[in-house]
Amino acid sequence: MRHIKGLFAKKRTRPVVPEDVRVYAIGDIHGCLVELDGLLAKIVEDAADFDGERQLVFLGDYVDRGPDSKGVLDRLLALPAGFKPHYILGNHDQILLDFLDNPFLFRDWRDYGGRETLMSYGVTPPRFDREEAYSKARDALQSVMPQSHLDLLGSLQYSVTIGSYYFVHAGVRPGVALDRQAPEDLLWIRDEFLLSNVDYGVVVVHGHTPMEEPIKLANRISVDTGAYATGRLTAAVLEGTQCRFLSTK
């Protein structure tokens, strides 16, 4: 009986991007400009033989941890010609924005890449746990951050849908409709999402949780390969019903 039921079980529809579109979904960059430039060079080479629309989806966490958050934001504003970009908001990007509003959050941010991000802009991180030191660092950062960086960070999206793929930073909460997801989950969720085999009606493409290799499952694709620690920055290449990967290592 179980075998007979299995013959009639609903099969997942193969995900697809629109015709004549190729998508490159890039995982967490975390201030790693060298790796970003290396991956973009591979993407340009890979896309040279494609005559359709070429789209870049950046899955968030552009800043923190790595040595050149400023350089990464500069590069995101000066991408290779011929690509349509989409920029997703990551939890580390949100923390940077929160610090600009409330400098006392540096107590939480400093050990998660805050020091490295300040230094990439030439700002000396606070040495002592004093509120006036946090305010001074915030004011210094605001004075040197280009307005174009602030505009980019302020324009980041929680998610983007292209064809049968839903692009987001961390993931989604199973059992909640995609259009009712809480921003906190889109930025932070881990185990509840990673351990679920729920069919969301789309394939979720995400970063946030570093893995040794990119992961392709029936309901999600993970492309965070821990660039700041491994030197490996990864992109999922989506075309038609196919998925493959490019990496700096």
List pLDDT tens digits, range 34-63.
999 999 999 999 999 999 999 999 999 999
Question: Could you give the percent of the chain with pLDDT greater than 70?
Answer: 95
pLDDT of residue 100: 97
pTM score of the predicted model: 0.94
pLDDT tens-digit series, residues 107-131: 999 999 999 999 999 999 999 889 9
Q: How confident is the model at residue 5 (pLDDT cuts 50, 70, 90)?
A: very low
Any idea what the Cα angle at residue 145 is, between residues 77 and 85, rounded to 5°?
20
Residues 185-237 have pLDDT tens digits of: 999 999 999 999 999 999 999 999 999 999 999 999 999 999 999 999 999 99
Long-range contacts of 109-115 (CB under 8 A, 24+ apart): 112/64, 112/65, 113/30, 113/31, 113/63, 113/64, 113/65, 113/66, 113/69, 114/64
The closest alpha carbon to 220, from 56, 15, 11, belongs to 15
Q: Is 129 exposed, middle or buried (0-12, 13-18, 19+ CB in 10 A)?
A: exposed
Structure confidence by residue, pLDDT tens digits, 231-244: 999 999 999 999 99
* pLDDT at position 7: 42
All structural domains of the chain, each given as residue ranges with its CATH number in brackets, are 14-247 (3.60.21.10)
Q: Which amino acid is at 144?
A: V
Ranges of beta strands (E only) in 145-206 are: 159-162, 165-168, 203-206
Give the angle subtended at the CA of 236 by the CAs of 230 and 237, to the nearest 5°: 140
Residue 24 exposure: Cα atoms within 13 Å on the Cβ side: 25
